[in-house]
Amino acid sequence: MKQGILLAAFGTSNPRAHHVLDELDERVRAAFPGLPVRWAFTSAIIRSRLADEGMKTDSVTKALRKMWFEKYRAVAVQSLHVVPGAEFEALEADAMAMCCAPGRADGFQRVSVGPPLLATESDVERVAEAVLRHQPRGRMPEDALLLMGHGTWHAGDSVYDRLSERLADSDPLVFIGTMEGTQTMDQILPRLLDADVRRVWLMPLLAVAGRHVVRDMAGDQPDSWKSRLQAAGLECRTVLEGTAEHEGFVDVWLDHLRGAMDRLNAG
């Protein structure tokens, strides 16, 4: 049975971030030699923005359909999202809809889906270790480290809290805030001020440093996280590197893909 891998990222229109995804592509090919690797972007907004710039990208459904026409019959789909939120659920539903549906001529014999970065308790542990290992080099022990996640009103948001608690056990000056959800800058800022820190390092908890990082985290407009920290009298340093640029996080995604590959071949 012809097998392949489909990597599904939220997507980005930032050229530097595309370079990061290219490197991730190489790591996946090196880990699974001989298996073709395809890509899908789950965000329809990003896909249409890229289409306007003349760059063709596929949704999960479209990418799988193309693979089916090329005679692939078993595909491991790996999510490159951070938390199991709405984006991941839609990806999983789209992928499974292509599999084994009775009476469907275009159904794959097998499809398996690898979960996002923070899916299990052991992921929380490994990601916490990766955060501590890949923290900014210039950070002093008295500096705070604030990770910016996307956040969501989906129940998947609670995994940020578990990661935050785990990190606080190792280092009480590491914080996690999100753009949406329950721990936004409004909640985090008073905690930073309470902690009596002078300098805050901002680092994304997002796969790639796209628009959210460049604009919403590190931008110069008054509502960026950097500007809000500075307005509160804190010194702010920004790191413009997504988690997909750091081995400790990539290893977790790769292990999830390994699990998806095993499920594909089981039984």
Pick the catalytic residue from 81, 150, 212, 256. 150
Give dist(CA 254, CA 237) in Å, integer. Answer: 30
Contact in structure between 178 and 149 (CB atoms under 8 Å): yes
Contact in structure between 126 and 242 (CB atoms under 8 Å): no
Comparing CA positions, the residue from 78, 126, 124 lying closest to residue 257 is: 78
SS3 18: helix
Is residue 212 flagged as an active site residue?
no
Give dist(CA 182, CA 168) in Å, integer. Answer: 17
Q: Dihedral of the CA atoms 226, 232, 235, 241 (nearest 10)?
A: -20
| Catalytic site positions | 150
